[in-house]
Amino acid sequence: MRIQQNGKLLSSALIVALMLVTAGTLAAQDVRYNSMPGADFSKYHTYKWVNIGGAHPDQIMDAEIKQAIDSQLAAKGMTKTDGDKAGLYIGYQTTVQQETQWDVEGSRAFGMASGSWTSSTISVGTLVLEMYDPARKQLVWTGSATNTIDTGSDHEKHMKKLDKAMAKLLKNYPPKQK
């Protein structure tokens, strides 16, 4: 994948970010993350959002996702910048997949059981967030959050779930140095 930044093309090992999208939210998140061995995260104090292409939600959801991530990074002492001297370039991408969920309805009486199966289609969303060191031209951190999207939630509930998901995703950022 390539990033276009002020006329320069930067290669990245996959700056992808997945999320809880489309106006829905994830209820409980499956979170995974990884970092480049030996990367010195104590030197990263600033970051800049970059467009990495791929699937993104509408402009409103894009702003909400970035706001939730900005809040978490600010709490960790990071400063967002629009300048070219950012220590990290960060980007995200989202995906939504449809899955079949099977439910069993039944009863048991006098040692005998009866029941039926029903199926429903659910949406599962993923957000992948990646951080790229532009000086080293290297991916240094990646993380993802995946869960079922609750399309019926109100906006306030949605924002609380989004903030909670991003807090969980960035809980162990920066990684502890060994």
Q: Which of 122, 129, 139 is nearest to 162 (CA)?
A: 129
Q: By three-state DSSP, how is residue 108 classified? A: strand
What pLDDT, in 10s, does the model give residues 2-56?
444 443 333 222 222 223 332 233 345 799 999 999 999 999 999 999 988 766 7
Question: How far, in Å, CA of 135 to CA of 39, rounded?
Answer: 12
| 11 vs 141, more confident | 141
Q: DSSP letters of 34-100?
A: EE-TT--GGG--EEEE----S----HHHHHHHHHHHHHHHHHTT-EE--STT-SEEEEEEEEEEEEE
Question: How far, in Å, CA of 19 to CA of 164, rounded?
Answer: 12
pTM: 0.72
pLDDT reported for residue 42 = 95
What pLDDT, in 10s, does the model give residues 147-173?
777 766 688 888 888 899 999 999 999
| 155, amino acid identity | H
At residue 53, what are phi and psi to the nearest 5 degrees? 75, -170
